[in-house]
Structure 1
Amino acid sequence: MGTAIFMVLMVCGYWYTSRDLSTRFKIKRSFGWDVYFLVALYGCIFVLQGVIATGLLWLLLLALSAVDNSFHFSSERYANWQMEFMNWSFLGIQAPVVLMLAFTILFCLYRSNWAGSARLDGIGRKKLYQRLAQSSGIEQLLYQCMEEGELAQVTLKSRRIYIGMIHTATLEYEKTANIVLIPMLSGYRDVKTMNMRIENNYSAWYDAHGITLDSEPRSAMAFRKVIMLNHIESLSLFDPASASALALVSRED
């Protein structure tokens, strides 16, 4: 019986943490034994809810038994339904334990699949990202770029540089964490001087061909770059006016 409770606890905890969006972010920020304890924590919460629901059912049977003994609605001489419920068994396991496990699984499925928090719309996801991004500088900057339309300068470990708009960011899973960038400029850093060299001016090409974010038959999304987060060396906001002023000062010096 103890093994069955433990298995349901861990499975429900894993099922919930792997499907709930906010919990996936917490898992992503956890390491080592913290992940197991977090899974067990949510499993314990669902088991506790199952125990409470089973206890409420026992109290309901107790109240019905008391009412029946007072008014004799049934043919039984003395109703003791709560004790019958406690003594009933299913496949050698006591009924309250079976019912508690069933309640645990139902609560887990509801919270994972059918609750409103499990089906976030665009606005709900944006609010969630805003709240979770407060603990990470990278995620704060990505959220600012997506929310305010700021240009971002992405420098890769290969010294390749992309400047553009952050369209989306997928950060739930560490191995596949990536950003989708619509490039405006691209280039590289010189090996000796580390100065930025611009090779491609996408924005001028967009303007010359009438390409926008929602143009037809071809839009700027056709040129999007999917960049894995573990390939990024640095990430910053890009202001063309400030970049030009800094370049002018460096030449004068």
Structure 2
Amino acid sequence: MGTAIFMVLMVCGYWYTSRDLSTRLKLRRTFGWDVYFLVALYGCIFVLQGILTTAIIWLCLLLTSIVMNAVPEMTGSDDHRLQMTFMNWSFLGIQAPVVIMLAFAILFCLYRSNWARSANLNSDGRRQLYKYLSRANGIEGLIYQCMETGQLAWLTLKSQRVYIGMIHTATVDSTSLNNIVLIPMLTGYRERDSAEFKIENNYSALYASQNITLSSEPHSALHFRKVILLDQVESISLFDPSQSLALGYRKESEANGE
């Protein structure tokens, strides 16, 4: 019986932590033995909920027995002890209350993992959750600041490719597939010797000339989106177009001798 309780406890904890979005993000930030304790913690919560539900059933049977014994003319003269029958009932060699408790623990786990409202967040809910969980991480915090405010981000990849644009969405709940979906404004590369940024594509000029927006038809800015794996990003920072244009103007003026 103890083995069955332990197995259900660990399986429920693992199922919940691997499928609930917020818990999965917390689990990704946990290492070593803390992972096992976190899984066991959530498993204990579901088992305790099952114990409380079983206790409520026992209490309901007790109250029913008291009422039935109080009106023998309606229920007979026998001494009704439904709660004791419930406690002594066995299923496959295991006491029925234990089986019912484990069944409720599994149902609570499935509900919280798959059917509860918190387990099916919309885009706004995900954004708020990511914002809360990314406060302790500089890169993730900057990403979701750009997502929330619409500020442009400057991404430099390990290959020295440079992307400047709006961060549309980001995925950080997977170890190997963390990515950023970027709507590009400028793309280019840094020269290896001088580290000077060379522009190759000016998407912002294309958007302006063809009246392309996030909701335009038949083509929108999302048709030009770039999906960038987060482990390929070398650095990320905010991009201020006004300062960049002013800097470019000063360099041009110096080159012309003005």
* Shorter-chain TM-score range: over 0.9
Which position in structure 2 is the counterpart of 1:124?
A: 125
Which position in structure 2 is the counterpart of 1:56?
A: 56
Q: Which structure 2 segments of 5+ residues have no match?
A: none
**For residues 10 and 186 of structure 1, do their structure 2 counterparts lie closer, same or farther at Cα, with a shift above 3 Å needed?**
same
* Matches of 1:122 and 1:154, distance apart in 2: 23
* Matches of 1:153 and 1:117, distance apart in 2: 33
3-state SS of the aligned residue for 1:143? Answer: helix
Task: Give the superposition deviation at 1:45.
Answer: 0.4
Q: After superposition, where does 1:15-94 map in structure 2 within 5 Å?
A: 15-72=15-72, 73-75=74-76, 77-94=78-95
Amino acid at match of 1:108: C
* Matches of 1:6 and 1:76, distance apart in 2: 43
Which position in structure 2 is the counterpart of 1:138?
A: 139
Task: Give the superposition deviation at 1:124.
Answer: 2.5
* Matches of 1:233 and 1:210, distance apart in 2: 33
Q: After superposition, where does 1:212-231 map in structure 2 within 5 Å?
A: 212-231=213-232
Which position in structure 2 is the counterpart of 1:155?
A: 156
Identity %: 64
Task: Give the superposition deviation at 1:2.
Answer: 1.5
Amino acid at match of 2:84: M
Task: Give the superposition deviation at 1:34.
Answer: 2.1
RMSD, aligned α-carbons:
1.9
TM-score under structure 2 length normalisation: 0.91
3-state SS of the aligned residue for 1:215? Answer: coil
3-state SS of the aligned residue for 2:19? Answer: coil
Amino acid at match of 2:115: W
Task: Give the superposition deviation at 1:164.
Answer: 0.5
3-state SS of the aligned residue for 1:188? Answer: strand
Task: Give the superposition deviation at 1:37.
Answer: 1.7
Amino acid at match of 1:209: Q
Amino acid at match of 1:150: Q
* Matches of 2:179 and 2:133, distance apart in 1: 17
* Matches of 1:59 and 1:70, distance apart in 2: 17
Which position in structure 1 is the counterpart of 2:12?
A: 12
Q: Which structure 1 segments of 5+ residues have no match?
A: none
